[in-house]
Structure 1
Amino acid sequence: MELFCDNNLAISIAHNPVQHDRTKHIQIDRHFIKEKLDSGLIVIARIPTRLQVADIFIKELLVARFQELWQVAVALSHAAILEESMRARDQLMEQNIALDLARREAETAIRARNDFLAVMNHEMRTPMHAVIALSSLLQETDLTAEQRLMVETILKSSNLLATLINDVLDLSRLEDGSLQLESATFNLHSLFREVLNLIKPVAYVKKLSLTSHLASDLPMYAIGDEKRLMQTILNVVGNAVKFSKEGCISITAFVAKPESFRDARIPDFLPVPTDSHFYLRVQVKDSGSGINPQDIPKLFTKFAQNQSLTTRNPAGSGLGLAICRRFVNLMEGHIWIESEGIGKGCTVTFIVKLGIPDRSNEFKLPFVPKFLGNHGSTNFAGLKVLLMDDNGVSRTVSKGLLLHLGCDVTTASSSEECLRVVSLEHEVVFMDVCTWLGGYELTVRLHEKFTKHQSRPLIVALTGNNKKVTKDNCMRVGMDGLILKPVSVDKMRGALSELLERRVLFETV
C-alpha cells in the first residue's frame, strides 16, 4: 500500500518500506513502522515543507494498520482531505506573511512620507515667513506705481505658495486619518461676513459683483469646525472668482429641509435630522467659464484641473476641491457641481452637518483669533517685546515686523539667553518652539521665574510647526498663544491687538 502526498512523495508499506522522492531519498525505520502498525497506533512521519521564512513548517503524514479494505479507502480519503487542508493552510500562511510584509512596508512608507512632509512644512514656512513679511513691510513704504505692482506680485505669489504648502499638508493628514475636526461653538453669520471681507477686494479688482444671502432661519451660532468650514467656503468662492472674467457671483446659505434630502443629484446622501443638529446648505453660483459636464467628476480628484481651460489659463494645484470634498465628508455632508457647459457658468453646492448650541452657552463662546480686523491705526509704540528664535533670518524678519509696528524689541537666540535678558518690563515674549530650542521647557521656567501671573509677560509661540500636537503642548505648558508663520505686517498687527485685548491668542492648526 502506498499513501501519496505533496512533492510526489510516497510511503510504501511492504517488506521494504521506503520513502522516496524524485529529488532525494529518505530512509524510514522499517521496524519502527511495523511495531506501530502491529499495535494499531497511528504513525506520524514529520516531513519539512519547502516553505521556510522564519521557522520550518511541518506537514504530517498518517500511516495506520487496517483490518478491512473499506477502512483503507476511508483512510486514503481522509488522508487526501488532510493533505489538501494542510496545503491550504500553508498557502494561507504564505499569504499572511506576504500581507504582513506588505503592511509593514506600507506603514514604513507612510511614516517616511509624514516625517518628510512635517520637516519640509516647517523648513518651507521659515523662508516663506521672510518673503511674505519683508514684502508686506516693503508694501507700506513709498513706492512708485511700478514698484508697488512688483511688490504686490511677490506677495500674491508668496501667498499662493503658502496656500499650496497648507493644502499638501492637509491632504496628507486627511489621507492618513490624522486630521481630526474641531468641535466648538462659533458665530455662523460672522463666518460668512469674514468670507466676504476676504473675497471682495479680489472681486473688486476683476470688476465682479459679489452678493450673499443668509436665510432668516439660519442660526446665529453653530457647533463644528469653524476653520475647516471657512476653508471650504473660501475655496469654493475663490474658484468662482478665479474662473469668472465678468458678471456676478452669489453666495446663498440656508438650513436644508428634510424633504430636500430626496434629491436625485445626491441619491446616496440620506441624513437623519435630530433635535441636536441641523444641515447647512451653501450654494455658490457664478457666471464664469463653466465646465464640460463630462469633466465634473474628475474635479474632485487630486491635482485635477478644468481640462477645457488649462491650456489657456492654468491656475491652482488641483488640490482645493479634493480637500473640500474630504472636509465635507468628515462633516457628514455632500458636495456636487453643476454646469451646462463651457461659457455658461457653474453652481457648487454642499451640505454639512452642524450642531445646535445650548442657548445658555451662546454668550460664553471660546475666543478664536481672526487676524482680519481693521487694525491699521493701531500703534504699539513703546511696547516692550522679547523675541527668541535660533534662526538668524527669521529673527531679523520678525524683529523688523515688530519694530515697524512701534515695539521696543529685544532679541535672544537661545533659551538660556532669553532667561538672562527677560524682565518685568517685557509685556510679550515671542519664541519658536523647536525641540532643540527648548521652547516648552523655557515656558515652564518663565512661569517659575515670574510667580504672579499678572507680573509675567505674555508667552506666545511664533513657529512654523502647525501640528495639532504643537498647539496642545503650548497650552499644556502654560503659553498664552500661538501664531503660525508666515506672518505679514497685517497679521502681526491684528495678532498683537487681539493678544493685548484678550490676553490669549491660539491660532487654529
Structure 2
Amino acid sequence: MKTVLNDPALVELAESNFQQSQTQIHARTDRMFAWVMATQYVLSVVFALLVSPRTWSGAAQQTHPHVWAALGLGGALASLPIFLALKYPGTLFTRTVIAISQALFSALLIHLTGGRIETHFHVFGSLAFLAMYRDWRMLIVASVVVASDHLVRGIWFPFSAYGVNTRAEWRFLEHAGWVFFEDAFLLVACATGVREMRSTASRQAQLELANDRIERSAAEITRQSAVLNSVLTGMSDGVIVVDGAGAFLHFNPAAGEILGPGSQDLPMSDWFTAFDTRQDESGACYPATDYPLAKAMRGVPVTGEEFMITRLGTAENAWVEASAQPLDLGTEAMGGVVVFRDITERRRMLEESLRARQEAERANRAKSEFLSRMSHELRTPMNAILGFGQLLKMDDLTADQDESLEQILKAGAHLLRLIDEVLDISGIEAGKLSISQETVDVPEVIREVVALVQPLAQSSRIVVRTMPTEEGTGFAVADQQRLLQVLLNLVSNAIKYNVEGGEVCIRTERAGTLLWILVEDTGIGIPEDKLALLFTPFERIGAQHTSVQGTGLGLALSKRLTEAMGGKLGVRSASGGTCFFIELHAAQCPLRVLTERGWKEDAPSPTVTREATILLIEDNPANGRLVEKILGSRPQYGLFLARTGQAGIDLACEHRPDLILLDLDLPDFSGSEVLRQLRRDSRFETTPVIVVSADATPSHIEGLMSLGVSAYLTKPIEVNSFLTHLDDQCQSPLEKRVA
C-alpha cells in the first residue's frame, strides 16, 4: 500500500527513520563482510597449502607462489575491509572498499584454482552477498571490477582466469554478460528492498508522531487535571460532580466544610432528609426533585438557587446559593456538576443593610418633616418681626431707636438666610434640589455678582475687579441661578474676610474641556491645617470670634451646589491671600456653534411681510441673547424677554404676544405651570406656544404636547428649524383677544 505524506514533519521523520534503518543495514552488512573476509583469507591459505604447497624444479623444491599469493594478496585484500568494517561501519567508503575487495578475492580464488569454472561461481555468490547492502552502486562497482579483471587476465594471464594458455581477449564479455544478468535481478531486489524500507519508515514515522501526539495529549490532560484539581481544591465555593448513577466524581474540601463533616460519605439519595432542606426560615419544604443537582441530572440547568440547610452533624442553619449544569459523560444517564456557596453572612448583612436603609429613610423623612415644620414655624413669626420692623422703620424714631431697630432687622435677615441655607443643604442631601444644566455665559454672571456686591465692597473699602475673558471662551455647563448663588457667596466672603483697603479679583481660565472661575483676595489667609474644615456645615474656623456675621453654611452649600452641577469647588491659601476656584465643564459659545453650522446673522429672511410680537420666557441671559441674534434676520418680529415665570405671565397680559417661546426650568416655578396658567386665561387659549428646553425626555414631551403646545424644540437650537416654526406661527393673522 502506498503511503501519501503531506505533513512536512512526517516526511522529515520518515526520511530520518529510513536513513537510520539503511545505516544499520550497511553497518551490519559491513560487520558480516569482516567475518567473510577473514574466513575467505583463512580458507584461501589452507586451500593453497593443501593443493599446491610446493613447486619443483628438478630435485629442488620451494614454496609454491600460490601459497605466497594467498598469504600476501589475501591478507592485503582482507585486512583493509576488516579494519574499515570495525572502525567505520556503515559508511559509503567502507562498503565500496568491501565491494572492490570481495570482487578481487574472487579473482584471487580463481587464480589459486587455475581458472576452474567452479570457482567462478564465487563471483555470483559475492554479488548476492553485496546485494544485502541494498545499494545498487555496490553491485555495479563489483561487476566492473570483475569484468576488468577478466579482461586484463584474459589477455595477459589467460591460464589464471580461464585455465588455458591461449589469449581470450573477448571471453570476458561472456563472463560479464552472466554477471550483469545476475545484477539485473539483484538490482530489482535492491530497489524492492529500498521501497519496503521506505514504506516501513513511513509507517514507523506515522506511529511515532501519533504516539508523540498521544503522549503530549496525555501530558496536557494530566496537567489540566492537576490544575483543575488544584483550582477546585483551593476554591471557597463547594463543587460536587456526580455521574449518571449519583456517584461522586469530585467532592472538593469546601463542599465538605459547607455541608458538614461526613457529607462526602453520604449517598445523594439521603441528602434531602439529612440536610433538612427548606425554602426559607419559615420551614417551607424544599422538594427533593428541585435540588439543583437533581435538576441538572435531568438536563435542566439551574442558576442562583437559594435555600436553607442544616449542616450535617450540627444544629446550625446555613443559607446556600447553588448553580448546577448537566454533565454529558457519554453514557445513557446524565451526570451533573453543582457549585454552591455559604451566603449566610451575606444575607445577614443584606438584612442589616435593608433595616439600616429603612431606618435612614425614616430618619430622613423625619428630618425633612422637621425642617419643613421648623421653616414654617420660624418664618411665620419672622414675617411679623421683619414686617412690623419695616413698618416701624417708616416712622420717626430717635437715633437710639433707629439703631436698635436696624439690629433687629439685621438679625432677622440673618436668621432668614440661615433657614434658607439649611433647607438648601437638606434638599441637596435628599436629592430634591432642582438643577437646570445649560450653557451659561460666565462673564455675564460675574458682572451681575460684581454689581450685587458693590455696596458691601464700598462700605468695607474693598476694590473688586475682574479680568477680561477672551471672546467666546467664557461659557460653561451649569445652572445659572445656582452658579450666581455660589459666586455671590465666594465673593461676599472674600470681601468680608479681607483686610481694609484690600482687593478681590475675579477671573476665568480655560484649558481644554474645563473652565475655572477663580476668586482671589488679599486677606490674611487661612491656616493650612484649617483648610479641611472649610466646607463643614456650621464650621467658621475661628471667625465666630470676630465681628463678621455668618452661619458657617455658605461654603458647605456652595460646594454641594457646585458638585450638583457636575463641577468642583476647591481652595488654595497662603499668608496674604486666599483663592477659591470653581471647576466646570466648558461649553461652546451658542453663536459660534450656529456659525459653524452655517448660520449667518445677516442672512436674508424669506418673504415675511406681517409684523408679529414674540414673548420669550427664559431665565438664561445667554439663551436670550441667542434668540435676539437669530431674530436679527427677522426685523419684522418684535421680541419681549421675561426672566421668570411670573414676569412672563405679566408681560403676556400686558402685550398680548402673537407667539410665546417658553423655557421649562424657571427660577420661580416650572414652565409647564406657566403654560397651565396661560391656558386657563381665555385670552391665551389659542395663542401659539413653542417650548424650547434641554429636556428631551419623550414622556415629558408627550405630556406638554397634550397641554396644547404648538411645537417642542430641544436645545441646542437648530436655527433653520427654529425660524421655520416661528414663520409658520407668525405669518397667519392672529386676532387680538379682548380682555
Q: TM-score, normalised by structure 1?
A: 0.52
Hey, what's the Cα distance between the residues in 1 that align with 2:406 and 2:645?
Answer: 22
Q: Tell me, what secondary structure is at the counterpart of 2:343?
A: helix
- Partner residue of 1:349 out of 567, 581, 586: 581
1:326 matches 2:589: no
Counterpart in the other structure of 1:367 = 642
Q: How many residues align?
A: 329
**Equivalent pair of 1:248/1:286 in contact (CA under 8 Å):** yes
Report deviation, 1:219: 5.0
Hey, what's the Cα distance between the residues in 1 that align with 2:574 and 2:367?
Answer: 40
**Equivalent pair of 1:210/1:249 in contact (CA under 8 Å):** yes
Counterpart in the other structure of 1:285 = 520
Paired amino acid for 1:300: F
Q: Tell me, what secondary structure is at the counterpart of 1:329?
A: helix
Hey, what's the Cα distance between the residues in 1 that align with 2:272 and 2:260?
Answer: 18
Counterpart in the other structure of 2:357 = 103
**Equivalent pair of 1:286/1:346 in contact (CA under 8 Å):** yes
**Equivalent pair of 1:247/1:287 in contact (CA under 8 Å):** no
Q: Tell me, what secondary structure is at the counterpart of 2:350?
A: helix
Counterpart in the other structure of 1:212 = 466
Counterpart in the other structure of 1:451 = 682
Counterpart in the other structure of 1:23 = none
- Partner residue of 1:256 out of 510, 526, 531: 510
1:176 matches 2:430: yes
Deviations 1:334-378 (A, max 9, x none): 32222224xx3322222222533532653438732599xxxxxxx
Counterpart in the other structure of 2:282 = 55
Counterpart in the other structure of 1:492 = none
Larger radius of gyration: 2
**Equivalent pair of 1:221/1:357 in contact (CA under 8 Å):** yes
Identify if the C-alpha distance between structure 1 residues 97 and 150 changes in structure 2 by more than 3 Å, giving closer, same or farther.
Answer: same
Identify if the C-alpha distance between structure 1 residues 355 and 143 changes in structure 2 by more than 3 Å, giving closer, same or farther.
Answer: farther
Identify if the C-alpha distance between structure 1 residues 354 and 334 changes in structure 2 by more than 3 Å, giving closer, same or farther.
Answer: same
Identify if the C-alpha distance between structure 1 residues 92 and 315 changes in structure 2 by more than 3 Å, giving closer, same or farther.
Answer: same
Identify if the C-alpha distance between structure 1 residues 161 and 121 changes in structure 2 by more than 3 Å, giving closer, same or farther.
Answer: same
Counterpart in the other structure of 1:337 = 571
Q: Tell me, what secondary structure is at the counterpart of 1:107?
A: helix
> Unaligned regions of 5+ residues in structure 1, if any?
14-35, 63-77, 259-272, 274-278, 372-432, 434-439, 455-475, 479-509
Identify if the C-alpha distance between structure 1 residues 292 and 255 changes in structure 2 by more than 3 Å, giving closer, same or farther.
Answer: closer
In terms of fraction of residues, the more helix-rich structure is: 2
Hey, what's the Cα distance between the residues in 1 that align with 2:468 and 2:410?
Answer: 30
**Equivalent pair of 1:5/1:83 in contact (CA under 8 Å):** no
Report deviation, 1:257: 2.3
Hey, what's the Cα distance between the residues in 2 that align with 1:154 and 1:219?
Answer: 45
Report deviation, 1:146: 3.2
**Equivalent pair of 2:519/2:579 in contact (CA under 8 Å):** yes
Hey, what's the Cα distance between the residues in 2 that align with 1:187 and 1:139?
Answer: 39
**Equivalent pair of 2:678/2:684 in contact (CA under 8 Å):** no
Hey, what's the Cα distance between the residues in 1 that align with 2:492 and 2:275?
Answer: 70
Counterpart in the other structure of 2:614 = none
Hey, what's the Cα distance between the residues in 2 that align with 1:355 and 1:293?
Answer: 34
**Equivalent pair of 1:336/1:348 in contact (CA under 8 Å):** yes
**Equivalent pair of 1:331/1:353 in contact (CA under 8 Å):** no
**Equivalent pair of 1:254/1:280 in contact (CA under 8 Å):** yes
Report deviation, 1:231: 0.9
**Equivalent pair of 2:258/2:342 in contact (CA under 8 Å):** no
- Residues 190-209 of structure 1 mapped to structure 2, 5 A cutoff: 190-209=444-463
> Unaligned regions of 5+ residues in structure 2, if any?
1-255, 292-310, 321-340, 595-622, 629-640, 647-667, 686-705, 709-739
Identify if the C-alpha distance between structure 1 residues 155 and 85 changes in structure 2 by more than 3 Å, giving closer, same or farther.
Answer: closer
Q: Tell me, what secondary structure is at the counterpart of 1:300?
A: coil
**Equivalent pair of 1:298/1:304 in contact (CA under 8 Å):** yes
Identify if the C-alpha distance between structure 1 residues 282 and 245 changes in structure 2 by more than 3 Å, giving closer, same or farther.
Answer: same
Paired amino acid for 2:643: V
- Partner residue of 1:236 out of 490, 498, 514: 490
Hey, what's the Cα distance between the residues in 2 that align with 1:196 and 1:285?
Answer: 14
Paired amino acid for 2:627: K
**Equivalent pair of 2:473/2:510 in contact (CA under 8 Å):** no
Hey, what's the Cα distance between the residues in 1 that align with 2:509 and 2:577?
Answer: 25
Paired amino acid for 1:131: I
Deviations 1:98-145 (A, max 9, x none): 222222111221122223223333443333333334434443454444
Identify if the C-alpha distance between structure 1 residues 370 and 227 changes in structure 2 by more than 3 Å, giving closer, same or farther.
Answer: farther
Deviations 1:412-457 (A, max 9, x none): xxxxxxxxxxxxxxxxxxxxx9xxxxxx99x989976x63349xxx
Identify if the C-alpha distance between structure 1 residues 237 and 195 changes in structure 2 by more than 3 Å, giving closer, same or farther.
Answer: same
Report deviation, 1:329: 2.1
Hey, what's the Cα distance between the residues in 2 that align with 1:219 and 1:43?
Answer: 73
Report deviation, 1:232: 0.8
Hey, what's the Cα distance between the residues in 1 that align with 2:319 and 2:683?
Answer: 75
Report deviation, 1:168: 0.8
Hey, what's the Cα distance between the residues in 1 that align with 2:444 and 2:642?
Answer: 13
Alpha-carbon RMSD across the aligned residues, in angstroms, is 5.0
**Equivalent pair of 1:48/1:56 in contact (CA under 8 Å):** no
In terms of fraction of residues, the more strand-rich structure is: 1
1:147 matches 2:401: yes
**Structure with bigger RCO (C-alpha 8 Å, 6+ apart):** 1
Deviations 1:268-308 (A, max 9, x none): xxxxx2xxxxx43222222223211111121122222223x
Identify if the C-alpha distance between structure 1 residues 323 and 370 changes in structure 2 by more than 3 Å, giving closer, same or farther.
Answer: farther
Identify if the C-alpha distance between structure 1 residues 196 and 6 changes in structure 2 by more than 3 Å, giving closer, same or farther.
Answer: closer
Paired amino acid for 1:210: V
**Equivalent pair of 2:259/2:312 in contact (CA under 8 Å):** no
Q: Tell me, what secondary structure is at the counterpart of 1:254?
A: strand
Identify if the C-alpha distance between structure 1 residues 216 and 89 changes in structure 2 by more than 3 Å, giving closer, same or farther.
Answer: closer
Paired amino acid for 1:226: Q
1:124 matches 2:378: yes
Hey, what's the Cα distance between the residues in 2 that align with 1:8 and 1:190?
Answer: 73
Paired amino acid for 2:578: C
Identify if the C-alpha distance between structure 1 residues 95 and 59 changes in structure 2 by more than 3 Å, giving closer, same or farther.
Answer: farther
Counterpart in the other structure of 1:410 = none
Deviates more, 1:105-114 or 1:213-222: 213-222
Hey, what's the Cα distance between the residues in 2 that align with 1:256 and 1:290?
Answer: 25
Identify if the C-alpha distance between structure 1 residues 335 and 186 changes in structure 2 by more than 3 Å, giving closer, same or farther.
Answer: closer
- Residues 460-499 of structure 1 mapped to structure 2, 5 A cutoff: none
Paired amino acid for 2:403: L
Identify if the C-alpha distance between structure 1 residues 59 and 5 changes in structure 2 by more than 3 Å, giving closer, same or farther.
Answer: farther
Paired amino acid for 1:230: L
Identity among equivalent positions (%) equals 27
Paired amino acid for 1:368: R
**Equivalent pair of 2:494/2:504 in contact (CA under 8 Å):** no
**Equivalent pair of 1:212/1:252 in contact (CA under 8 Å):** yes
Report deviation, 1:256: 1.6
Q: Tell me, what secondary structure is at the counterpart of 1:214?
A: coil
Counterpart in the other structure of 2:270 = 42
- Partner residue of 1:159 out of 397, 401, 413: 413
